[in-house]
Amino acid sequence: MAPLRFVLARAMKGKGEREIPGDVRSGWEPGFLIFFRETSVRLLSFPVTPFLIAFYFTMIRVKICGITNDADAFAAIEAGADALGFVLYPKSPRYITPAAAGRIVRQLPPFIQSVAVTVNATPPEVRDIETVATFDIWQLHGDELPDRCRALYPRRLIKALSPQSNTSHHVSEYNVMGFLLDTPSTNYGGTGKVFDWKLAVEFKQSTAKPLILSGGLTPENVAEAIRTVQPYAVDVSSGVEAEPGKKDHRKVKEFIRVCKSS
């Protein structure tokens, strides 16, 4: 069962709501019970007492990365994955050609997000990829600086960083949807090693944008990782593999089951 959180919000006339301290109890105005899930709001049509009780569920999102074939893609979807990652970096053992990735992406059911994982790809290279494949999100997993992110606008971007990134640029300079934290590697990911999750907790204080936790996650440790970091999403590749580029479907299923119940 996903954890259930709630806030108390004073009923307001007209559009919009605002969060107020839980100890404020003055006034009686008609209100409605509303449910929040992610950014969507559902307004139920019966009045309640002076406060709107807003419940929102924090169901963790799961990205299975390093997809190279149809069988792995659809096993992940069947297990409940929210997103699939396709590594378009030729030096990776999980590399898939843009054309092959595009063929898989075109078969995906609605609401499954496709993520192109690139390393230091230039805008012309990205445009070349887009001639054979269309992705929902681009994950920049190299040494890309804020200027590169701006050059790729209006694409939806995730910037991968190490928890100890040696850069003079503050995260606020990156025009991206969110950040992915991964274990430092000269090969740009895929180490299968865990970093100190306390660093991820500290990183969250530097930005309000969603945090995706990666790096050495497995079915055995992901519940603790979620409890410690409380990320927006988790990302796994080697932790659910039979070998590089080939998923162990049993591990994929167990990983997602643990995530969705944490």
| Annotated catalytic residue within 65, 72, 149, 235 | 65
Q: Position 232: which residue type?
A: Y
Q: Convert 149-181 to b/e letters by CB count within 10 Å (16 or more is b).
A: beebeebbbbbbbbbeeeeeeebeebbbebbbb
Query: What would the two tokens of residue 229 be?
Result: 């970091």
Q: Which residues have CB under 8 Å from 228's CB, separation 6+?
A: 197, 198, 200, 201
| Annotated catalytic residue within 149, 182, 235, 259 | 182
Query: What would the two tokens of residue 241 be?
Result: 């593999």
Assess whether 70 carries a catalytic annotation: no
Assess whether 149 carries a catalytic annotation: no
Which among 243, 248, 164 has a CA at the least distance from the CA of 200? 164
Point out the residues that are catalytic.
65, 182
